[in-house]
Amino acid sequence: MNRRLNLLDYAAGSILRRYSAHLPVAAVFIIVVFLAASVILTLSSLKKEAANILAAAPELTVQEMSGGRQTPIAVDIAEKIRSVTGVESARPRIWGYLYEPYAGVNLTLWGVDEITGEKMFSGDFSFREGGFYKPGERWKIVVGEKVPQALNLKGRKNLTFTDGQGKLKSFEIAGVFSSVSSMLTADLVIMPEKDLREFFHMDKGLATDIAVTVKNPAEIPMAAVKISSLCPSCRVISRTWMQRAYEAVFNFRGGLVLLLWMGCLVSFLILLWNKGAVLSGLEKRELGILKAAGWSFEDILELKIMEGAMISGASFTGGFAAACIHVYGFDAVLFRPVLFGWSVLFPSMNLVPVFSFGPLFLILILTVLPYMAVSLLSAWKSATMDIGELIRGEDG
C-alpha cells in the first residue's frame, strides 16, 4: 500500500515538473471532451423538454391541408370525428404564431376557454404571479415566465400586438406562469378563444386544428385511419409520430455537429500517437536514473499508468465540467443555432439537466483509453531501452 502511495506521489510530482510538456495534450483533451459532452447534454435536455411537451399533447391532431400547406379547418368536422368508434373527444383549437419584430422573438398565441384553463393550471402549469383571467373578461392574457423578459416589459402589465391587418391590439397581463417544460412556456401567450379568433380574423366556423382524444391507446392507429377516410383532405398526426419526428430532428442536428467533432477526435489521436512514439530527452534521462536506482520494469509501467490516469482523468473531468457550465449555465450558447434550429427566435429558456450515461461513457472510452494506451506504449519503450541510452537523453 505504501509503495503505491509513494508511486502516486512521485507520479503527481513528475507531472508538475513537466507540466509544459503535458499542457498542450491536456488542453486538446479538454476541448474534445467539452465539445462532445456539450452536444450530448444539450440533445438529452432538448429530448426531455420535447417529451414533457408531448406528454400533454392529444393522441391525434387533425389538420386541414390545401396545396401541401396547413389551412384553417371547419369546426363541423369535430362532430364527425366524435362519431368514430373509440374517440373520446374532439376539440377544435385556436392557436398560431406572432413575430414581434422589435424584440426579435416568435410568440405562440393560444386560445383557451375557462374550463380548459382550469384543467391546465391544476396540473403541470402554475402561476408565479397573478392568476387566470375571469370568465367574460376581454383582452386579458396570461404569459410564460420568459415572455416579459423577452419583450422587455420592465414590470409593465400592458402590451400591444399588431394583427394580420396591421391594427394594434392592446392586452393586459393577468398572470405569469411556469411549467415543468421551459420550452413550452418560454414563448407562450394564452388568451380567451374569442379574443384570439378576433385577433387572427378567423371565422367562427373555422379553427386551427382539432385535438382528438382516444379512449384506448391500442385503437389510435385504427381511429386515425377512420378519421382520414371521413376527411380525405385532412392530415392526421399521432403523438407517437411527433415523438419520432422530434427524435429524428434532434439526432440529425446532433449528428452533424458530432461528425465535425470526429475531425477533432482524429487530430487528438494523432497528437497522442506522436507523443507516445517520441520520448523527450528529459523524460528519457529521468527514466534512466530510475532504472539505475533499481526500479523494475513493472514499477515504471505502474508509474506511467498512474500518470496517464491522473492526466486523462483530470482532463476528462475538466472538459465535462466545462460542458455542464456551458449547457446549463449559458444555455448551450455555442450550439444553439445548430441544435435549436429556428427556435433561437424564441425567448431564452433554461435547459433541464439530463445525463445520458451511455454516450458519455462512449466519450470516456474514445478519449481516456487511447491516452492510457499511449502512456503504456511510452512506458514500454522506455523500460526496454538500455540504461546508458536513457541517461544520455537524446531526443527521438
Tell me the C-alpha distance between 136 and 33, whole Å.
56
Whole-number pLDDT of residue 333: 84
Residue 279 banded pLDDT, cuts 50, 70, 90: low
Cα–Cα distance, 387 to 266 (Å, whole number): 34
Phi-psi region of 202 (alpha: psi -120 to 50; beta: other; left: phi over 0): beta
Phi-psi region at 67: left, alpha or beta (left = phi > 0; alpha = psi -120 to 50): left
pLDDT band at 214 (very low <50, low <70, confident <90, very high): very high
Please spell the DSSP secondary structure of 161-210, one letter per residue: EE-TTS-EEEEEEEEEEE-S-HHHHSSEEEE-HHHHHHHHT--TTEESEE
Distances (CA, A) of 384 to 114, 281, 306, 378: 81, 16, 19, 10
Q: Tell me how far apart the alpha carbons of residues 51 and 212 are, in angstroms, rounded to a whole number.
A: 19
What pLDDT sits at residue 284? 67
What is the CA 68 to chain-centroid distance, rounded?
30
Residue tagged 405562440 (cell numbers): 108
User: Contact at 8 Å (CB) between 64 and 70?
Assistant: yes
Q: Are 38 and 334 in contact (CB under 8 A)?
A: yes
Give the model confidence (pLDDT) of 82-94 as tens digits: 999 899 999 999 9
Report percent pLDDT > 70 for the chain.
87
Residue 59 is which amino acid? E
Determine the pLDDT at residue 235.
95
The mean of the pLDDT values for the chain is 83
pLDDT at 119 over 90: no
Min mean pLDDT across 60-69, 126-135, 233-242, 385-394 is at: 385-394
* Contact (Cβ atoms closer than 8 angstroms) between residue 209 and residue 234: no
CA–CA gap between residue 15 and residue 18 (Å, rounded): 5
Question: Cell 380567451 identifies what position?
Answer: 192
Summarised one tens digit per residue, pLDDT across range 47-102 is 888 887 788 788 999 999 998 899 999 999 999 999 998 999 999 999 999 988 88
Task: Give mean pLDDT, residues 122-139.
Answer: 79
Nearest to 381 by CA among 270, 269, 297: 297
pLDDT above 80 (res 295): no
Q: Which of 345, 326, 363 is nearest to 42 (CA)?
A: 326
- Length of the chain counted residue by residue: 396
Angle 242-243-247 from CA coordinates, rounded to 5°: 115
Q: What tens digit of pLDDT does each residue of 153-183 get?
A: 888 899 899 887 888 999 999 999 877 666 6
**Domains of the chain by residue range:** 2-52+245-392, 73-207
What are the CA-CA distances from residue 271 to residues 29, 31, 37, 219, 263 (Å)?
10, 13, 21, 57, 12
State the pTM of this model: 0.76
Q: What's the grid cell of residue 34?
A: 467539452
Residue type at 100 in one-letter notation: E
Percent of the chain residues past pLDDT 90, beyond the cut? 32
Beta-bridge mates of residue 162: 168
| Cβ pair 113, 263 in contact under 8 A | no
* 180-210 exposure pattern, b = at least 16 Cβ within 10 A, e = fewer: bbbbbbbbbbbbbbebbbebbebeeebbbbb
Phi, psi of 235 (to 5 degrees): -110, 130
The Cα-based distances of 210 to 7, 61, 173, 231, 346 in angstroms read 70, 6, 27, 12, 25
pLDDT tens by residue, 318-377: 999 999 999 988 888 888 777 776 554 455 567 778 877 888 888 888 888 888 887 777
Residue 345 is predicted with a pLDDT of 46
